[in-house]
Amino acid sequence: MALIKSVWGFTPVIGKNCYLAENATLVGDIVLGEGCSVWFNAVLRGDVNAIRIGNHVNIQDGSVLHTLYEKSVVEIGNYVSIGHNVTVHGAKIDDYALIGMGATLLDYAEVGEGAIVAAGALVLSNTKIPPFTLWAGVPAKYIKDVEPEKTHEMNRKIAHNYAMYASWYTQESTNQE
């Protein structure tokens, strides 16, 4: 079972039909929407400020979500995919965005709807990534526009795939009981 820990009177709130890997960690002021998955070694630390996550979000293995003490918050919309080993520190991510493996988003960065942050990118503090654009590099820079229909289709597919993957783990535990 995942480590779910209260701190400063805040206990994580978990929506319906979520999958939390056995060694995922959720601490403090966190609200996780419905149909989400938090994978192995992911850490969501709402100990110094709030983390708010929409529906059908997948936070993949080794990712870390945290904030600045009493300043920044993490806000994630619906159908967002956070790739393996991503750091989201006090940033906002809108619906249908995709954050590639190993990317880092710093405080007050904003990722628009349907935007893609490439693997390994470093999104500096206060960067505003417009909707339906691709950003890459260190520091991250605009690469090109992306088609809204293709982005929605791709990110919805990834979100549904992660819901399917999560079902494999919940079915397995049901079959072993």
69-79 pLDDT, tens digit per residue, is: 989 999 999 99
Position 173 scores a pLDDT of 52
Position 4 scores a pLDDT of 97
| Chain segment 35-58, per-residue pLDDT in tens | 999 999 999 999 999 999 999 999
Mean pLDDT of the chain: 94
Position 159 scores a pLDDT of 84
d(CA 95, CA 128): 15
User: Is residue 119 classed as helix, strand or coil in its secondary structure?
Assistant: coil
| Chain segment 78-110, per-residue pLDDT in tens | 999 999 999 999 999 999 999 999 999 999 999
Q: Domain spans of the chain?
A: 3-176
Of the two residues 156 and 143, the one the predictor is more confident about is 143
Nearest Cα residue to 163 out of 72, 34, 30: 34
- Whether the per-residue pLDDT at 62 is higher than 50: the answer is yes
Q: Which residues contact 40 (CB under 8 A, 6 or more apart)?
A: 21, 22, 23, 24, 61, 62
d(CA 111, CA 117): 8
| CATH number for the domain formed by residue range(s) 3-176 | 2.160.10.10
Position 170 scores a pLDDT of 81
Position 172 scores a pLDDT of 57
